[in-house]
Amino acid sequence: MDVILNSDILHDKRLITDDVSKRLRTFLQACAERNHVIVIPLTALLEFNRQQSELVSKTAAEVDRAYELLDRFKIPYSRVDPSEVVKLPDLVSLIQKHKAKIVIEEPTLQDFQEAHRRACLHESPISMAKQSDEMRDLIIWLIALRLAKQNGGALLISRDDVHNNLLGRGEAEKIGLVCVKSVEDAEWYLDVDIGTPASRLVEHLLTTIWGELVSKGLPLTDEVSPIGVSRASFDQGAHGLSSVICSIKVKTRDKKTLKANTEIHINGNVTDEVRLSDIKVDNEDWQDGFLLIRPSKVWSYEADDYEERLDALLQIMEE
């Protein structure tokens, strides 16, 4: 499948030198393993290059200031011209480094003409209520629509409102264009979940009560099967984790896909209550779409040291 990346997904606050961010890197590697094609609209690439060019100028100026400071204190050093080492990154090469197939997609004349028409008339997916870079957003939208129509579907990863509002959803659904706002949501859709600490914790909680979920009639396999976890949020109580809200995805015993919104309530180290709602199997409602169990199941988890690191960070900020 074509996976189209908007510039806000490529954006990095730092000047990229050796590689893209770790989060994007792992996603690219997962896509490469599953033969998904990474598509960068030329519009997004140009915007990425503009943002990185600004960081090149800023970084070169910082290097010059560092030289001035060394000169001031008469500290010996070997000077290197900043222009020789502070350079614009080659995004295509960086992505190819992770074995991902990449295509730079140029807008066609028809893309430009249709974007111009929609921008002037404020037609879908533009919202009159919000300011946006209309032409840029519309060109990327039309590229995504064109590729989805040509290839029987595509995935657009973008946080822009123009690409995610209700106005364009019907047009996208007709030709199989799926729009998500983050790499995490893309992993969920593409089944390339890479097992974040959050997803591993949810998987562990559900694994301990798997048998009870099966006994209540969920069409799951008898043995625990991999659980996809998306949009997880956690509440911390006085004695540790108190609740988890997330969406889950898991294969059924007949190889279908079950999805459900999930709430897990915890008291100390005991799982008190689990609520599954909007339960669907291959997008069809399962029974009444709701399941409640009270397992009172003791659980333990070898946690990440995130609490210790968070406390240290907070202490630094306070100081």
CA distance 135 to 120: 9
Contacts of 316 (CB under 8 A, 6+ apart): none
Is the CB of residue 223 less than 8 Å from the CB of residue 240? no
| pLDDT tens by residue, the chain, 319 residues | 999 999 999 999 999 999 999 889 999 999 998 899 999 999 999 999 999 999 999 999 999 999 999 999 999 999 999 999 999 999 999 999 999 999 999 999 999 999 999 999 888 898 765 555 679 999 999 999 999 999 999 999 999 989 998 889 889 989 999 999 989 888 878 876 556 677 778 888 998 999 999 999 999 988 887 788 888 888 888 777 899 999 998 888 888 889 999 999 998 889 999 999 999 998 899 999 999 999 988 887 655 555 555 555 556 665 5
- How many CB atoms lie under 10 A from the CB of residue 40? 23
Q: Crossing angle, helix 134-151 and helix 109-121, to 10 degrees?
A: 130
Whole-model pTM: value is 0.71
What are the residue boundaries of the structural domains of the chain, listed by start?
Answer: 2-190, 197-306
- The fold of 2-190 is Rossmann fold (3.40.50)
